Amino acid sequence: MESEKVSDLNRAFAGLWLDHDLEEANDRLRIAFNEIVGKEKKITPSVADEKAKWQMRTWIRIYYLFSDKSAWFPGRLQSDIQEKIEFLFWNYGLAKSSIERADPKYVWFIQGSENHDMMDLGNAFLALQALKDLPKYSGRKLTDGHSIEEHLAAWNSYFKLYCTELCKHGLFIDVGSPTYGKYLIPEIVNLFDFAEDSELRSKAKTLLDLTWANWSMEQLGGVRGGGKARCYQGNYSRNGRSDSWFQMGHILLGSEWALDGSRYTHPIQGFGFVLATTGYCLPELVKDLALSPEDRGEYAVVSQSPGKMKSLDEIPPYGGHSCWYSMDSKDPRLVRYTWCTPNHIMGSFWVDPSLAVEFNIHPDQPERADNSYAAISAQNRWQGIVFATDPDARIFPQCVGKPDKNHPGLSTTYDQQIAVQHENVMLIRKNPAMRNLTGLRVYLSPGMKERIVEEGGWWLIEEGDSCAAFRAFSATGEIDSVSMAWDDDSFLRLSEPDAPIVFVTGRKENFPEVDD
């Protein structure tokens, strides 16, 4: 943590955790707090929302671990900065919490996205819980006129149901997202560590156990295979080490690579500190699954993920976000199929091509909701092959999407492809119903271009102890009329944009003639 590139907030956390130079650690917290305040000169609900939201997981953790009433390391926080954090918590609660939003009937209502939802609501709950016994905040009413105690009771019930519902109905909408997992899972970890209600802590643990069990079955060396949602084109699609699930998994498994604090420099990158200091441990069975791919053999993982929306009679408060979603947990209309081997993993999404992609559906538009995927489910779906040889080794199809104005340099697609799969054979094509998509291309990791062989329309490659082949078939003419040509060193482009592609994988030990 010696690098000056590391934020004051993160350096403060490290000092407090290590019990090293507490005076400097508290000074750095004061600097980080003043950066939140900025030109406003004081904390208000809007400042807490706009400036502190992405850092709240770290402020929450610092307070619960190091305040004078901590059950872990009490007294490491100095009184003046502790009071400032408490005032930040109060204003965050004012900005984010309402009894109406905590109604259990809205547990499948998502404001913004799943990570925004938990950053808003989970952090507001823990912030208010920290204040409930402080005389300074006793008797105060929040924006909706209810007390802290009333809010906490409502959120306790809400999050118990939240954990149960996710476990029962396919876990997360942002399944496997390389980008957003690190902004969602730490909030659940903080619930597990700091919720005072023992039943809620138990349910949070069950949700985490199931989440990581699901991950362990579909990963090699920490790189998750199979279908992933919200996997932006570019770095997140191509590079396994940039995947937040790779990073989080390695932290929980004790990898020295992942525990290098210099990887977590920005104040919003609190996930590394949360996962490195949590009391949550992976179950031994999950560790065994994660670390012993040879013992797992070959198998298919077939699961449902929340995808389709449903209509609501009314819309609850949604925190000022520009979009919201009401998910249909009983009819997700989205299947993930993942073929797993010790050497490679290939996986896809099975979708209903009759559904549109929507967001912000109002109560007077029930047909729109009942016939649509949530945009966050359909956004930048990734499907393809990952190999055990390297975190970045992969082959996958991708449509070129339009530039994303909210994420410069990245492209966004929605429901870009239709796929079917059985074990080691996957057939995929561009979704003809989706506009703003150019032709289908196939990505190959660096170095594969020099090794891949084309023969009779098939492209064949060996990667470690695996082999893979793919070819395109004409959707309109002669079967052999579709060709592929290199766009650059990474992408092969189909000559017929709507042509389907078949991918076939195998383990070399099952095909000894490959080496002949």
What pLDDT digit, counting tens, does each position of 361-375 carry?
A: 777 777 787 889 999
Note the pLDDT tens digit of each residue in 160-206: 999 999 999 999 999 999 999 999 999 999 999 999 999 999 999 99
Q: Is the pLDDT of residue 503 over 80?
A: yes
pLDDT category of residue 407 using cuts at 50, 70 and 90: low
Q: Is the pLDDT of residue 497 over 70?
A: yes
pLDDT category of residue 213 using cuts at 50, 70 and 90: very high
Query: What is the spatial distance between Cα 302 and Cα 378, in angstroms, rounded to a whole number?
Result: 18
Task: Tell me how many domains the chain contains.
Answer: 1
Per-residue confidence (pLDDT) for residue 433, from 0 to 100: 81
pLDDT category of residue 309 using cuts at 50, 70 and 90: very high
- Mean pLDDT in residue range 5-27: 95
Q: Is the pLDDT of residue 33 over 60?
A: yes
Closest by CA position to 52, among listed 76, 83, 84, 74: 84
Residue 111 lies in a domain: yes
Three-state SS for 428-465 is EEECCCCCCCCCEEEEECCCCCCCCEEECCEEEEEECC
Let me know: does 103 contact 151? Beta carbons within 8 Å: no
Let me know: does 460 contact 452? Beta carbons within 8 Å: yes
Task: Judge residue 209's burial from the number of C-beta atoms within 10 Å of its C-beta, 0-12 exposed, 13-18 middle, 19 or more buried.
Answer: middle
Averaged pLDDT of the chain: 92
Q: Is the pLDDT of residue 285 over 80?
A: yes
Could you count the other beta carbons within 10 Å of the beta carbon of residue 169? 16
Residue 337 lies in a domain: no
What is the share, in percent, of the chain residues with pLDDT greater than 70? 95
HSE (CB half, 13 Å, CA atoms) of 69? 10
Closest by CA position to 170, among listed 380, 376, 330, 374: 330
Q: Is the pLDDT of residue 344 over 70?
A: yes
Q: Is the pLDDT of residue 343 over 60?
A: yes
Per-residue confidence (pLDDT) for residue 447, from 0 to 100: 95
Instruction: State which residues form the domain around 240.
Output: 8-294
What is the share, in percent, of the chain residues with pLDDT greater than 90? 77
Residue 287 lies in a domain: yes
Residue 154 lies in a domain: yes
Residue 471 lies in a domain: no
pLDDT category of residue 382 using cuts at 50, 70 and 90: very high
Cα–Cα separations (whole angstroms), residue 169 to 61, 270, 313, 339: 29, 28, 22, 21
Per-residue confidence (pLDDT) for residue 481, from 0 to 100: 74
| Residues in a beta bridge with 351 | 334
pLDDT category of residue 2 using cuts at 50, 70 and 90: low
Query: What is the spatial distance between Cα 75 and Cα 188, in angstroms, rounded to a whole number?
Result: 25
Residue 71 lies in a domain: yes
Q: Which of 312-321, 323-332, 376-385, 421-430 has the lowest mean pLDDT?
A: 312-321
Per-residue confidence (pLDDT) for residue 516, from 0 to 100: 54
Q: What angle do CA 102, 104, 108 make, to 5 degrees?
A: 95
Per-residue confidence (pLDDT) for residue 261, from 0 to 100: 62
Task: Judge residue 115's burial from the number of C-beta atoms within 10 Å of its C-beta, 0-12 exposed, 13-18 middle, 19 or more buried.
Answer: buried
Note the pLDDT tens digit of each residue in 224-248: 999 999 998 888 999 999 999 999 9
Per-residue confidence (pLDDT) for residue 404, from 0 to 100: 63
Q: Is the pLDDT of residue 337 over 90?
A: yes
Q: Which of 34-48, 346-360, 399-413 has the lowest mean pLDDT?
A: 399-413
Per-residue confidence (pLDDT) for residue 368, from 0 to 100: 81
pLDDT category of residue 410 using cuts at 50, 70 and 90: low
pLDDT category of residue 437 using cuts at 50, 70 and 90: confident
Give SS3 for 109.
strand
- Mean pLDDT in residue range 104-126: 95
Q: Is the pLDDT of residue 515 over 70?
A: no
Three-state SS for 296-312 is HCCEEEEEECCCEECCC
Residue 55 lies in a domain: yes
Query: What is the spatial distance between Cα 90 and Cα 139, in angstroms, rounded to a whole number?
Result: 13
Q: Is the pLDDT of residue 3 over 60?
A: no
- Mean pLDDT in residue range 56-75: 98
pLDDT category of residue 376 using cuts at 50, 70 and 90: very high
- Mean pLDDT in residue range 250-279: 84
Q: Is the pLDDT of residue 449 over 80?
A: yes
